[in-house]
Structure 1
Amino acid sequence: MTPTDLQPTPVIDETARLLTEHYVFPEIAKQLADLLRQRLAEGAYDVGSAEELSRLVTADLQSVNNDKHLRLKHHADPVSSEEGAATLESIRRDFDTSLGGAPRVELLDGGVTVLELAPMLFPLDWAAEPLSAALTLASRAQALIVDLRNNRGGDPDAVAFVCSYLLDERTHLNTMHWRGGERSEQSWSLPHVPGARFGGSKPLYVSVSGDTFSAAEELAYDLQQLGRAVVVGEPTRGGAHPCKGWTVHPHLEVTVPTGRAVNPVSGTNWEGTGVQPDVPCPAAQSLDRAHALALARLAD
């Protein structure tokens, strides 16, 4: 891409408009829109590539409250102008190459099973079948480790779906409060699931890392706050705001959080702080640590 191909002004104008109209925190949206316009006027965005512009704008978008869901994302291939299409196109490739987001179910010594969910929790209309198959297979384990170390987020409905296999009863998991505070939406586990449940009484561990993000963090946090799982590993990245994406250039997509999560147990969420592990250890050691904890628990 040559410098003449990239005109920063329409990108910044549209990004500022979307922020102002949709960001869950209107006061911060105004601050950020003013900052972007100021930086544009100063020539800070006079760069020759969409990739460089995305890096600069994302740094400015996250400079006020470090909201990691607030981004100008670069896509190497041109993307659709339809709302949300850019993200769907990119994650579909990952879905097709990861067994639908459940790439590993492995039986370890002592009746302990590892279920890896990665690289993300895909839209439930895609992922319900592979998730159900993996969770049903894991239901026979004596203890279960859910590995989220390489999971970058995804669909809150998929979070509720997974939780439904790990609990015995329909349970309130989370509430999303949308911009303006006039509308909220509760998330509950399902009363019935296809396949067999692992259930709510056998030992459950969740392995996390500094790369675990967004909906994967919600899965770990929900289970932790309910007292259902022991979280093992590193503090997670800290992104709790659901977002939408809009294409603002053939290679650029702005993602804007439109709501905030509130856990019914803690009354707050993991934004900015990450999910704090119950058993801290390096992520590379977390599976071995969780396995040892599970074996000790089963021995008791």
Structure 2
Amino acid sequence: MKSIIAGGFALVLALGAPAIAQELNASQRDAVVAAAAAAVEENFYDSERGAAIAAELREAWQSGAFSDADTAETLADALRDRLHVHDNHFAVRRAPPGAPRGESGPDEAGERAWLAAMARTNYGFQEVSILPGNVGYIDMREFAPTQLGGDTALAALNFVENTDAVIFDMRQNRGGAPSMVQFLISHFLDPREETIINTFVSSARDYPSELQALAWLPGESRPDVPLYVLTSGRTGSAG
């Protein structure tokens, strides 16, 4: 099974394998790699780059780069590592063939596990504190969708609302949902002004889509407070 989401910042491949036997034979492995290359070529937002990435993937396949990947999990890891050389937004995972979304089955169980994991990690908010000099500090490890982490985000912003400056530490942030980025950034912009936060490009559209600052916020906006963002080589794009 193959499913794909292509956008300006993400492309996800889901790889299926037999429900009982987890091992892949050579024919199955070749079919998955060929399908992955075709999906990248057809759906990557930049058609020229997509074609080049797909060509490199096929060359690696022909040279035997995936010959040791004998399970769906190891093949997904090998494809992910190969694709990350080109773009860290690629994610490759095994998706068991099961019931469609919304019905009882592996997808529903996986979603429950994901929701529980998001809650256990506090929706990405690792630490919120006040540093010496009255500087607010927020350590974020990922951006959860606002429908899940919005209350936690607002609590973090409220905690640092009386500081003289704010630091967002994104050095370990893997990226995540644009809605959370929009929510956080909007609190440090003038709500009276229309501000474009991000622009997304997709191969499925002839025009880009724009993410604008929120005109209404549940908390106070602070457009004049000094804001600092710490990043590293491990920071995902949303960070």
Do both share a fold (TM > 0.5)?
yes
Structure-to-structure mapping, 1:124-203, within 5 angstroms: 124-169=146-191, 170=193, 171-179=195-203, 182-197=206-221, 199-203=222-226
Preserved contact between residue 153 and residue 213 of structure 1 (Cα < 8 Å):
yes
Aligned: 1:13 with 2:34: yes
User: Cα deviations across residues 69-88 of structure 1 (Å, max 9, x unaligned)?
Assistant: 2343469xx687869x6996
Q: Does residue 24 of structure 1 match 2:45?
A: yes
Counterpart amino acid of 2:163?
A
Structure 2: which 5+ residue stretches go unaligned?
Answer: 1-21, 102-106
Equivalent of residue 228 in structure 2, options 198, 205, 225: 205
The one-letter code of the counterpart of 1:46 is: S
Q: 1:147 and 1:155, CA in 2 relative to 1: closer, same or farther beyond 3 A?
A: same
SS at match of 1:44: coil
For 1:81 and 1:193, how far apart are their aligned partners in 2? 39
Shift of 1:7: 2.8
Per-residue deviation, 1:190: 0.8
Deviation of residue 93 (structure 1)?
4.3
1:33 is aligned to 2:57: no
| Structure 1 residue 201 displacement after superposition | 1.0
Aligned equivalent of 1:123: 145
Q: Across the two proteins, how many residue pairs are aligned to each other?
A: 209
| Separation in 2, partners of 1:79, 1:135 | 42
What pairs up with 1:1-300 in 2 under 5 angstroms?
Answer: 2=23, 4=25, 7-47=28-68, 48-62=70-84, 66-73=86-93, 91-118=114-141, 120-169=142-191, 170=193, 171-179=195-203, 182-197=206-221, 199-216=222-239
Q: 1:193 to 1:40 in 2, by over 3 A?
A: same
Q: Which runs of 5+ in 1 are unaligned?
A: 217-300
Distance 1:71 1:168 in 2: 35
Aligned letter for 2:115?
R
Q: What is the rounded CA distance, in whole Å, between the counterparts of 1:6 and 1:91 in structure 2?
A: 32
Change over 3 Å in CA distance of 1:211–1:35 after alignment to 2? closer
Task: Assess, with a 3 A threshold, how the Cα gap between structure 1 residues 132 and 35 changes in structure 2: closer, same or farther.
Answer: same
Aligned counterparts of 2:111 and 2:27: Cα–Cα separation in 1: 24
Deviations along 1:123-179, whole A, 9 cap, x unmatched? 122121111121122112122111112111001121111011112234222221222
Q: 1: distance between equivalents of 2:97 and 2:184? A: 30
Letter in 1 for 2:42: E
SS at structure 2 position matched to 1:182: coil
Structure 2: which amino acid aligns with 1:97?
A: R
Name the Cα RMSD after superposition: 3.1
Identity of aligned residues (%): 26
- Cα displacement (A) at 1:181: 6.2
Secondary structure of the corresponding residue to residue 110 of structure 1: coil
Distance in 1 (CA, whole Å) between partners of 2:130 and 2:27 is 52
Change (3 A) 1:59 1:121: closer
Q: Is the 8 A contact 2:130 2:137 kept in 1?
A: yes
